Amino acid sequence: MSNKELSACASPPDIRYLAQFNLNCLVVFATIYIERNITRTSEVLSISQPAVSNSLCKLRTQFNDRLFYRRDRQMVPTVTADEIAKTLLPLLGDFQSLLNRFTEN
């Protein structure tokens, strides 16, 4: 895609703004949202529980929201987390489709 075509996009991304977010943290968010459990999230992603907690801490700061709170051994999403997930989960699905299309599995 040429620079001209890129500028014609409906809303070209602000790369500097996006660079402050870590895609891995967003994957952690999505996994917590789906699994509702820090331990299962760490198992699914094959990372340590402290790494999951650190990612969640970063996201809480970036989104200025708790995102999840504990209730009966579950991580319950806040209203903000629900809103983020509505957009993020389909985006991650699209990103996975893109990777599947252009990379070898």
Per-residue confidence band for 2, with pLDDT thresholds at 50, 70 and 90 = low
Q: Is the pLDDT reported for residue 4 higher than 80?
A: no
Residue pair 33/25 in contact (Cβ under 8 Å)? The answer is: no
Q: For position 1, what pLDDT does the model report? A: 56
Separation between Cα atoms, residue 62 and residue 20, nearest integer Å: 9
Domain 17-103 belongs to what architecture? Orthogonal Bundle (1.10)
pTM value? 0.85
Domain positions in the chain are 17-103
Query: For 5-17, what is each residue's pLDDT tens digit?
Result: 655 666 888 999 8
